[in-house]
Amino acid sequence: MHTKNNEEDNPSRSVSAPGMPDFRRRAACTVRTTEADRTILAFLSLRFPYRTSFEWQQLLAEERLILNHRTATEDMVVAAKDRVEFKVPEKDEPPVNSVYSVLFEDDCLLVVNKSGNLPIHPAGRFFNHTLWALLKRDRPEMPVHFVNRLDRETSGIVVVAKGPEIAGRCAAALAHPDAAKIYTAIVEGEFPYTLQAEGVLTPHPRSRVRKKLAFVPTPGSSCAEQISRLPDRIISARDYEPGDDRKGGAKRIATSFKKIGGDNQLSILAARLRSGQTHQIRATLESLGFPLVGDKLYGVDEAIFLRFINDSLTDADRRRLRLDRQALHAARLTFTHPDTLKPIDITAPIPEDMATCLDQKFTLAGPIYDALLEFELGFQSRIAHD
């Protein structure tokens, strides 16, 4: 019997408590034997040279360093195995959409539907404005171990394990070939009815953004033909040779796409991951000539991303993007429960911003995704498992 998150069995519950969490960042380290028998100021300057000695002196004066649970002063001497903590100065965090809903929960797992403007993990400018902090605030006794990850601007299903051991088993279940990870995407242009995209992700050869990737299709595939028709294609399939230095770190990927709505300007797609690499769907769609609506990095113009990171987006940029965030939603997840071994089938409804982007309401419920799964039954992934 399938376990589904329908209203009778497990109603979705929105969580929107007022205010944001107010945790304090702390970084900690242990003194190595080779670093012992010197003042804490000298230790900090040696171990963490990204700050000057004067900057560490100022932070010590502000009582931001803790040595073995005591406020440290610059003349204290450290010994091997001492614990040094740093109370990181607080900074204003960018605003986020903190609403999330519970789709499924039992003794082992919590599955939530996150918004399209919410980081999962603390990183960079985000700490309290993250799903991690919200869960720690709302469920202080529950360990939080994220099993899958989504970009900040990707909405949808996030699986949280309530312990490290179950997290490992759940990750293995999600990686099993029988598991299905299905996304909804809105793209620019009139997408083909179906498309199987197999090839590699490689560092983008022409991008000014170091982290940006490009999709290179397998020679002779239908998506290779699609890319060959582009007037300004990124890399031709026939240009790719395994081991080419330009494509260091290339990862083999496969994604199945099916058009499920739209017109000649925009298309709404279902995409099933056959592999799991960072930016897989976003990079593939851009390379195919159908960039995601709202995607600043892989969208209609990379220059928009460069203006975005400098807080200099223009009104014209926003009109070209159509949406404040990338139109990508983790909509359905099926896998075997790591403890009960029962089939789990979770769906997250398409968010309002994506639904109204096409000026119509889409209800992307089970039947659409069931059709996608049937469409793919004969597709055999040729991904090499690393």
Question: Which tokens hold the place of 6?
Answer: 């329908």
Question: ∠ at Cα 27 (36, 139), nearest 5°?
Answer: 140
Return the H-helix or E-strand segment holding 281.
Answer: helix 280-288
Give the pLDDT of residue 359: 63
The structure's pTM equals: 0.78
- What's the average model confidence in pLDDT over 68-82? 94
Residue 6 has pLDDT above 50, yes or no: no
CA 2 to chain centre: 27
Give the pLDDT confidence of 354-371 residue by residue, as tens digits.
888 766 545 444 455 555
- Lowest-confidence range among 185-199, 216-230, 308-322? 216-230
Which has the higher per-residue pLDDT, 204 or 333? Answer: 333
DSSP characters over 172-192: HHHHSTT-EEEEEEEEES---
- Determine the angle formed by the axes of helices 40-47 and 53-61, rounding to 10 degrees: 130
Residue from 169, 166, 222 nearest 198 by CA: 222
Residue 249 has pLDDT above 70, yes or no: no
Give the pLDDT of residue 239: 44
Spatial CB neighbours of 311, under 8 Å, sequence gap ≥ 6: none
pLDDT band at 1; cut points 50, 70, 90: very low
Q: CA quadruple 291, 297, 302, 303: dihedral positive or negative? A: positive
- Most confidently modeled range among 18-27, 192-201, 371-380: 192-201
Owner of token pair 């028998």: 37
pLDDT band at 156; cut points 50, 70, 90: very high
φ/ψ (deg, to 5) at 309: -70, -15
Give the pLDDT confidence of 36-65 residue by residue, as tens digits.
999 999 999 999 998 899 999 999 999 999
Which has the higher per-residue pLDDT, 348 or 22? Answer: 348
Contact yes or no for 111/159 (Cβ under 8 A): yes
Question: Which tokens hold the place of 226?
Answer: 């699609």
Contact yes or no for 250/201 (Cβ under 8 A): yes
Contact yes or no for 282/297 (Cβ under 8 A): yes
Residue from 331, 369, 373, 321 nearest 351 by CA: 331
DSSP characters over 13-80: EEE--SS------EEEEE--GGG-SEEHHHHHHHH-TTS-HHHHHHHHHTT-EEETTEE--TTPEE-T
Domains of the chain and CATH, by start:
3-22+93-178 (3.30.2350.10), 26-87 (3.10.290.10), 183-337+344-375 (3.30.2350)
